[in-house]
Structure 1
Amino acid sequence: MGVLYITSQNDGVGKTTLTAALVGILKDSGKKAIGLIPSKEGDLVDTEREILSRLLGEEIGGPSYSSKDTLISAIVDAGAKSDLVIVEGPGTVDQADHIDIVSKTEAKAIVVSDFTDGDSCLEFARNFGSALAGVVINCRTKYGRTEMANKLIPVFEEAGIPILGVIPEDRTLLSLTVGQISENLGGKFFCGEHRSDRLVEHFMIGGFGMDPGQYVFSTRNKKAVVVRGDRPDVQMSALQTDMECFIMTNGLEPIEYVKYESDEEDVAVIIVETNTLETMDRLASLQKLARFDHPEKLERAKTLVSENVCVETLVDPEQI
């Protein structure tokens, strides 16, 4: 059997995203891979695994990580049913245990690291020795391409550690749904609650400016527009562009014509009691709540991994 063991030095760097993307890519190509995401009882991972199973259309296994031996046995059992097992290493164990699991299952380790962490994972990756397949750098910032090419890649190359891919930061993966935004702001739907599963990638404020409103709003797609409920002029300008929802502040409801046009344009309207500045302050802290929990995120992750990671090398059991 072939086993890929996806691990990291730090939490929240994209292990789950990479695991799900690889399983999804293999499924789309007609191949069979089993994904395993171990957890402790009652762990948040249990919920994440259920979400991934629903997104992928097949069960993601979840052995309880009560001991190394439990996980090793689960990997071996899964390997008997599939050509490739993709394991997301638990984040609650030390590296010595990761190394032991990799050794006893004859797995290849993939270390995932965030671009902002620089080369801090070098020693962690090096400790896997010959079992290391390489490193995947995630969330490379929009303007980080030069730093990646001129600073980070040479450091990894000099250390003899392969970089399997560099995945750019992506708005879709960092987004929340209209419903999640409403819930976290304590808002209520004035209309369009059935659109609560739409992803919002940008936030814009409706207000005074020198440029025409429609021009300003057209610079961003898949957006939420934050505006006072008593500004139908701004609201109508926004409705001429691609958007997902209004967040109307100060507890003010829009006029009937704006509601009608919002329904016509398939745009949800959320009412919040806070003012515009307070609302934007609260929105600024929401990104950390983003999770890998939406079909569009899975499709985007598969595309990003396919385009930026050496998938063929990783998923070929003969090379593992």
Structure 2
Amino acid sequence: MKRLYITSVSTYAGKTALSLGLGLRMQAAGYNVGYLKPVSTQPYMVGGRVLDEDADFVRRTLGLDSPPWELSPAVITGDILDEVMAGTLERDLLADVTQAVEAVSEDKDIVLLEGGASMREGYAVGLNTLSVVEALDVPVLSVVSYNGEECVTGMCVLDDALAAQKRLEGHLLGLVINAVPREDLAYVRERVVPFLEKNGIKVYGVLPYDPYLRALSVGEIVSALGAKVLTGSHLMERLVEHMSVGAMSVEAALPRFRRQLNKAVFTGGDRTDIQAAALETSTTCLVLTGNLQPTSTILKRAEELNVSVLLVPDSTLEAVEKVEGVFGKTSLGQPEKLSRFQAMLSEHLDYAELLRDLGI
């Protein structure tokens, strides 16, 4: 039986997606796959039990038999943190993790262990990544998210990769570099990867950025905003790849509207001109702010075009900020997104090399 711990230096790098993609690929190859998220700081209540939402999603998608709460043995709640700070916690959290890993490993060919939100997590409760990895004695695959817009080209991915190598003290098996803009793919493959490999870090894959994979469903936007659905209640699974704010003149807005496909347009409920313009371009939903009802003409046109119209009390800026807070952080909950990500892994991940290095 083999184990692989999947982690990242930064948050929202793609750990859950990679865990799920590898699990499905291994199952398709005939391996009996187990999964566990040892440490979580995102408690999620189901039926009076605390668990991790990502772990439950992976469990359901992989068709695992284990109850969801058994796949997240150390979910750090506010109560647990208070007990740790007071010195009154009676649980041995690391022992709970190791026992859960042993239990989930029975009769498995491979167990995928998904790390927490980032590699800095868990120090306060004695469950930082290195402590867990050393206790379990497992190899680590780190996901590094490329961020060309906020960093000197390639700098962040190099720093994150070298930080992972330093922090993991010999447990690092290698990296997957995720979300690389297509215009930077050649640079990463020809410059970044050779540099990392020269420094003893193997790179198993360089995955291109795909806005479709980071899209939100209309239903997720409704949840984020607490929106009232005026049209398109049957369209909650449709995906929004871009957000556009209609706070300018129609003449200024139209060029942007035409460039952005499958978008959500945020504008005041009284901006009939902007709403009409948005409906004549590739728009998935209109988010109308200020609790201002649109005209019947707009609603009728939206229904004809299968565009969801959402009404919120927030200002346009407030609504945009709420949705930006969750944009790009969703799981592969839609079958189309999952299939697309699996196809990306098949094309860009050296799966055979990874299995060889794991000894499978």
User: Which band: TM-score by shorter chain?
Assistant: 0.7 to 0.9
Q: Normalization by structure 1: what TM-score? A: 0.81
Letter aligned with residue 110 of structure 1: L
Greater relative contact order (CA < 8 Å, ≥ 6 in sequence): 1
2:353 alignment partner in structure 1: 313
Q: Check if 1:118 corresponds to 2:157.
A: yes
Cα pair 1:164 1:310 within 8 Å, conserved: yes
Equivalent residue runs for 1:65-214 within 5 Å: 65=74, 66-90=92-116, 91-92=121-122, 93-103=127-137, 107-116=138-147, 117-120=156-159, 121-125=161-165, 131-145=171-185, 147-149=187-189, 151-206=191-246, 207-210=248-251, 213=254
SS at match of 1:54: helix
1:15 alignment partner in structure 2: 15
Letter aligned with residue 82 of structure 1: K
Q: Check if 1:48 corresponds to 2:54.
A: yes
1:4 alignment partner in structure 2: 4
SS at match of 2:303: helix
Distance in 1 (CA, whole Å) between partners of 2:355 and 2:250 is: 52
Letter aligned with residue 238 of structure 1: A
Cα deviations across residues 44-70 of structure 1 (Å, max 9, x unaligned)?
A: 562222223334443576151454444
Q: Percent identity?
A: 27
> Cα distance 1:70–1:184, how it changes in 2: closer, same or farther (>3 A)?
closer
Letter aligned with residue 51 of structure 1: F
Q: Check if 1:39 corresponds to 2:39.
A: yes
Flag structure 2 segments of 5+ consecutive residues without an equivalent: 45-50, 75-91, 148-155
Cα pair 2:174 2:201 within 8 Å, conserved: yes
> Cα distance 1:7–1:228, how it changes in 2: closer, same or farther (>3 A)?
closer
Distance in 1 (CA, whole Å) between partners of 2:10 and 2:274 is: 43
Count, aligned residues: 315
Distance in 2 (CA, whole Å) between partners of 1:74 and 1:115 is: 33
> Cα distance 1:140–1:98, how it changes in 2: closer, same or farther (>3 A)?
farther
Cα deviations across residues 95-132 of structure 1 (Å, max 9, x unaligned)?
A: 442442452xxx43212223243323325326657654
Distance in 2 (CA, whole Å) between partners of 1:251 and 1:122 is: 49
Cα pair 1:55 1:298 within 8 Å, conserved: no
CA RMSD of aligned residues (A): 3.3
Letter aligned with residue 115 of structure 1: Y
Cα pair 2:179 2:207 within 8 Å, conserved: yes
Per-residue deviation at 1:277?
4.8
Distance in 1 (CA, whole Å) between partners of 2:358 and 2:251 is: 62
Distance in 2 (CA, whole Å) between partners of 1:136 and 1:221 is: 29
SS at match of 1:252: coil
Distance in 2 (CA, whole Å) between partners of 1:210 and 1:31 is: 57
Cα pair 1:228 1:276 within 8 Å, conserved: yes
Q: Normalization by structure 2: what TM-score? A: 0.73
Flag structure 1 segments of 5+ consecutive residues without an equivalent: none
Distance in 2 (CA, whole Å) between partners of 1:249 and 1:151 is: 46
Equivalent residue runs for 1:241-256 within 5 Å: 241-256=281-296
1:62 alignment partner in structure 2: 71
Letter aligned with residue 158 of structure 2: D
